[in-house]
């Protein structure tokens, strides 16, 4: 996609995304924060982007770890391994936590506009316990399905850098990153296809682990 056309598509998609967020909040949802999307360079090049894009999170899609998750009716359910960043009063990184985002890749990858309008495939998010004062540079993660390793990844961008990327993107599109909000910082693995009956454990080194089961 040509760069100018891509910028227009992103701008239109973000207007729709932020309008949806405002409507959800007006209807009673509580803002939780933001999500980094399209953080793989190959996909950015495909869409003519010069960096990742940003979606939003509310409490309407936050799930409690430990409960089975019903993915019946989803078209292409997938799991993404994330690190969650809490924004402090000074606008920097206050704490970190393991996180899992669940997405439905139902829109394909033809056009970035509808993807943004659809909140970058987002369906749900789970958070683990928060920790402070931890250096996670080079953090390695792994996903085990029924006891067998099926995916591995590594953190390639420090949380403080991610915060500034998200802040700048939102400022450029009429949004705002506020103290107390959270960012899920983009998947550390390629989206992993999931199905009913899967039992997965995601390990995050010093950040701990999260287990999830799908029905």
Separation CA 141–CA 13 (nearest Å):
31
* DSSP 8-state symbol, 40: S
Total domains present in the chain: 1
pLDDT at 159 over 80: yes
pLDDT per residue over 80-119, tens digit each?
999 999 999 999 999 999 999 999 999 878 789 999 999 9
Residue 67 backbone phi and psi in degrees, to 5: -100, 140
The reported pLDDT for the residue numbered 3 is 62
Domain that holds residue 27: 3-213
Which DSSP helix (H) or strand (E) runs through 45? helix 41-47
**What are the tens digits of pLDDT across the range 21-80?**
999 999 999 999 999 999 988 889 988 898 999 999 999 999 999 999 999 999 999 999
Which phi and psi angles does 80 have, rounded to 5°? -125, 135
Instruction: Report helix, strand or coil for 112.
Output: helix
CATH number for the domain that contains residue 44: 3.90.850.10
């Amino acid at each position: 996609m040509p760069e100018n056309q891509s910028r227009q598509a992103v701008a239109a998609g973000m207007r729709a995304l932020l309008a949806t967020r405002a409507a959800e909040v007006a209807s009673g949802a509580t803002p939780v924060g933001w999500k980094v999307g399209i953080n793989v360079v190959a996909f950015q090049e495909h869409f003519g982007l010069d960096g990742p894009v940003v979606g939003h999170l509310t409490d309407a899609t936050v799930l409690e770890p430990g409960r089975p998750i019903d993915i019946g009716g989803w078209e292409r359910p997938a799991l993404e391994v994330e690190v969650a960043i809490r924004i402090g009063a000074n606008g920097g990184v206050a704490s970190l936590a393991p996180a899992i985002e669940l997405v439905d890749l139902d829109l394909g990858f033809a056009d970035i506009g509808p993807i943004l309008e659809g909140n970058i495939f987002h369906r749900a998010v789970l958070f683990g316990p928060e920790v402070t004062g931890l250096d996670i540079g080079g953090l390695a993660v792994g996903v085990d399905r029924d006891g067998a390793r099926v995916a591995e990844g590594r953190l390639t961008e420090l949380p403080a850098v991610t915060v500034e990327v998200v802040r700048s993107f939102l400022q450029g599109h009429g949004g705002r990153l506020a103290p107390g909000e959270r960012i899920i910082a983009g998947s550390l693995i390629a989206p992993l296809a999931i199905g009913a009956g899967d039992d997965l454990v995601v390990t995050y080194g010093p950040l701990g682990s999260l287990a999830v089961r799908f029905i």
